[in-house]
Structure 1
Amino acid sequence: MSAAATLTGPWRGLSPAVWILVVARAVNRIGAFTLPFLGVVLTVEFGTSLGQTGLIIAVFGAATIPSRLLGGQLADRLGRRRTIVVGLTGCAIAQLWIALSHALWSAVLATILLGLAFEIYEPPSQAMIADVTEPANRPAAYGLYSAALAAAGVLAGLLAAALSHWDLRWLFVADAITCLSCAALVALALPADVRREPSKEPTSTVSVWRDRRLLLLLASGTIFATIYMQLIIGMPLTLLEQGLPKSGTGLILALSAITLIAAQRLLRVQHLDDFQSIRIGYALLAAGLLVSAVAHSLAIFLVAAILWSLGDLFLLTRYLTQASGLAPDEARGRYLAVFGLSWGIATTIAPITVTQLLETAGPTGLWLTSAGVAAVLAVLQPWFRKRLA
């Protein structure tokens, strides 16, 4: 088998639209390293306390909730491609506003705008992948999506490490540029939106909210997303608390991305069902969090990043596969939007839990608590199987 075939093995035969989306999101991902530094920018550039920083980022997270719902509604009504372009353009405007802000009130308003635009493009992107992919191939398609984001994340982490030595505002300028580049690629390369005939069956938002399996999946996904966001928000603040260099966050992001790419090629996880994969993922995530709890040097934090990144490999794509599998075709955008609320809720909760636990229990208490929650979710997977499978 050729090297090219080995590289693309599980992804051969996927729709060209999937590859275009993957490339576009990878371009966007190269610049999307600002969120881990938002708390540092607020603390260092604007002099906010840990409590104020947590509250501002929580407001950002709350703003992403209507953003995700709007993205789902627009995806099913306006069209996938148009919605993606609208969301990315809004993100670029907000990022530039943050970079140009010199007063805290201006930065807060820009952060709220960023939240309102931040999740618009996710439901149409995920729905389009499901639209053009057979159910059996969706784990591979979402796996490709994650692998491409991880590959771009390597460069993102290195760029973050380099730019963090300068004014941190340049991070937001770089992200704005990649958002606009991604929007242009989507607008030019993806096929035009197809006008969908209205379904004869009622597909109101109420029917989506009545699906108990979706709500249970939303609850489980919210807990995972909260742990994930605690890592994104809490790791830079942990390094800051322990006097480690700001550039360490960029190195951790880069190593995390490299781990995801290498593990996806070396570990054959397609034969596992969703619940087996999720259980293994939570066990690895808990191990990485335990190592983070006892780490006092950058080298140990890098070891921890390898462990929790391996956990992410088993978790991220499987949750998307489960959510898309529950959705009827005509409401897929709304189903994925409702499931995606887990990230908005998590982004609202995580800044508060991170800053409060850092202030009261320190980094050890923060990561030990997170590890305990991950371990409980690993144990509960047979219970979830009975109610979701």
Structure 2
Amino acid sequence: MSALRRWLHDTAGGLPATFWYLWSGLLINRAGAFVVLFLSLYLSDVRDASTALTGLVVGAYGAGGAVGVLLGGVLADRWGRRATLLWSHVASGATMVALAVTGNLLVIAVLATLLGVVHSMPSPAYVAAIIDVVPPERRSRAFNLQFWAFNLGMAVASLLAGVLAEASYLALFLVDAGAALTTAVLIAWKVPETLARSRRGAATGGVRPGGATGGGLRTALTDRTFLVFVGLTFVLAVLTTQTSTILPLSIRADGLGPSAYGLVVAVGGALIVLGQLFVPRLLDGHRKHRVLAVSTGLMGVGFGALAFADGLPLYLAACVTWTIGSMLAAPPNAEINAELAPAPLRARYQSVFYLTFPAAAFVAPTLGGVSLQYLGDGHWIVVGGVGLLAVVGHLLAGPPRERRVAALWSPGPPGSPGAPGSPAPTSSGPTSPVPGGGGRHSPP
């Protein structure tokens, strides 16, 4: 029992109340995230859209998300974390209600684009708020718990959504809207504005790479080392997004129903929920770029194996493979993202990082719908090949990035990274997962 208590304290102790309210809001919102999982089936089954048109409409959701994640980062740094979180969740609920009662495909495409915008806006604000309120020595635990809650909610959503989709797609939309609005109420009631804390931290020496304090999005968009990392994360995001865009269409083509798809996604979420809290210690001492190479390779193999899957057992086996890859990728991705981001531009760097997920949500269904229609199972061979190519990218990009990070955190003048009084790099303890964010484009 004492060992269990020590593990619980090490995993979840020492975190402020505001973090737990943010964590609860994320869990509630994610547990009701039904629409994104079943949007492609809704369009094809209820609105009689072709496979290619379904891919385009779902891709419009991803295109909106690309705008929303950048907008969310800018607003979170200027307007405030709390205000961005609150109003984006209110807008999400209202947009989903509108989608539930709209039958025109053109209007649905417009609303799907808007939904992508408001779904993506919370991600950088959630991460920035957590960094604002959680002490540096506890941030790895905080992000690990955040990622865990994200996937616990996903597992719940997958199980409930499969049942709701077979009973009523209208209920699917309305329950999702209710979850978003409940999260908005919780944020309005319990989450204070944290932007002032971030500004005080920057003023007292919390300045990260190069001491940058200005430049906005331009700084992040011209940071070449950071952009190489973002590009490789985009490949991972394209692989991951297959589960919510193309996978349900593939499962249906093999004669399986929505509940089978819900079970596949739930198994992946359950595996993460059961094992993710133990992953950081497992990876301690291993170089991050090598871990990312292994994890991306496993994801490539898992999705590539779907070319040979024609029944539920094979889909489940492939799901286990790519989920293990996703679990391994989470900690090093979060560490690298934290190490390269300047404190005064914290939310904006986060927004560029999170841009990979809505961008993938556009590319994966837009190209994937056409690919699946014309290549059939060959689509999964292409996806697997892309994942294996990214393995080489990680092995090549890792060493120069590590040298850059080492230089940034070397001792320097007061207030510079590595100097006395500056925040310690997050790699000084067990690693942390990819920040889960609060939007629906966040990493699985």
Normalised by the length of structure 2, the TM-score is 0.82
**Structure 1 residue aligned with 2:61:** 60
**Structure 1 residue aligned with 2:142:** 141
**Structure 1 residue aligned with 2:361:** 347
Contact 2:77 2:195 in 1 (8 A): no
| Alpha-carbon distance in structure 2 between the residues aligned to 1:139 and 1:95 | 34
Given candidates 367, 371, 376, the residue that maps to 2:389 is 376
Q: Report 1:132-281 matches (<5 A).
A: 132-133=133-134, 137-195=138-196, 196=199, 201-267=213-279, 268-271=281-284, 272-281=286-295
| Alpha-carbon distance in structure 2 between the residues aligned to 1:43 and 1:355 | 12
CA positional deviation for 1:376: 2.1
CA positional deviation for 1:295: 1.0
**Structure 1 residue aligned with 2:416:** none
| Alpha-carbon distance in structure 2 between the residues aligned to 1:279 and 1:135 | 28
CA positional deviation for 1:137: 4.5
Largest Rg, 1 or 2: 2
Structure 2 unaligned spans of 5+: 204-211, 403-444
Residues 269 and 111 (structure 1), Cα distance of their counterparts in 2 relative to 1, 3 Å cut: same
CA positional deviation for 1:7: 4.3
**Structure 1 residue aligned with 2:113:** 112
Contact 1:87 1:117 in 2 (8 A): yes
Given candidates 304, 310, 316, the residue that maps to 1:290 is 304
CA positional deviation for 1:8: 5.3
Letter in 2 for 1:233: T
| Alpha-carbon distance in structure 2 between the residues aligned to 1:108 and 1:19 | 36
**Structure 2 residue aligned with 1:126:** 127
CA positional deviation for 1:358: 0.7
CA positional deviation for 1:114: 0.4
Deviation readout 1:292-325 (Å, 9 max, x if unpaired) = 2211111211111111111111123432332222
CA positional deviation for 1:59: 1.5
Letter in 1 for 2:362: T
| Alpha-carbon distance in structure 1 between the residues aligned to 2:82 and 2:321 | 36
Structure 1 unaligned spans of 5+: none
**Structure 2 residue aligned with 1:334:** 348
CA positional deviation for 1:112: 1.8
| Alpha-carbon distance in structure 1 between the residues aligned to 2:76 and 2:288 | 26
Residues 5 and 168 (structure 1), Cα distance of their counterparts in 2 relative to 1, 3 Å cut: farther
Deviation readout 1:322-377 (Å, 9 max, x if unpaired) = 22221111100000111111112111111122112211211x21222211221222
| Alpha-carbon distance in structure 2 between the residues aligned to 1:232 and 1:298 | 17
Contact 2:217 2:349 in 1 (8 A): no
Deviation readout 1:242-284 (Å, 9 max, x if unpaired) = 1111111111121111100122245433403432331221122
| Alpha-carbon distance in structure 2 between the residues aligned to 1:51 and 1:305 | 25
Contact 2:239 2:303 in 1 (8 A): no
Deviation readout 1:41-84 (Å, 9 max, x if unpaired) = 11111111111111111122111111111100111011111111
Deviation readout 1:216-260 (Å, 9 max, x if unpaired) = 122111111111112221111011111111111111121111100
Residues 322 and 130 (structure 1), Cα distance of their counterparts in 2 relative to 1, 3 Å cut: farther
CA RMSD of aligned residues (A): 2.1
**1:380 counterpart SS class:** helix
Contact 1:14 1:141 in 2 (8 A): yes
| Alpha-carbon distance in structure 2 between the residues aligned to 1:4 and 1:158 | 31
Contact 1:76 1:334 in 2 (8 A): yes
Residues 378 and 10 (structure 1), Cα distance of their counterparts in 2 relative to 1, 3 Å cut: farther
CA positional deviation for 1:108: 2.0
Deviation readout 1:78-123 (Å, 9 max, x if unpaired) = 1111111111111111111111112223322221220121111000
**Which moves more between the two structures, 5-14 or 150-159?**
5-14
**Structure 1 residue aligned with 2:80:** 79
Letter in 2 for 1:206: R
**Structure 1 residue aligned with 2:439:** none
Q: Percent identity?
A: 27
**2:168 counterpart SS class:** coil
**Structure 2 residue aligned with 1:100:** 101
| Alpha-carbon distance in structure 2 between the residues aligned to 1:275 and 1:193 | 33
**1:164 counterpart SS class:** helix
Contact 1:71 1:83 in 2 (8 A): yes
Letter in 1 for 2:189: L
**2:282 counterpart SS class:** coil
Contact 1:95 1:114 in 2 (8 A): yes
**Structure 2 residue aligned with 1:6:** 7
Q: Structure 1 residue 386 and structure 2 residue 403: aligned?
A: no
**1:165 counterpart SS class:** helix
| Alpha-carbon distance in structure 2 between the residues aligned to 1:53 and 1:4 | 49
CA positional deviation for 1:131: 2.7
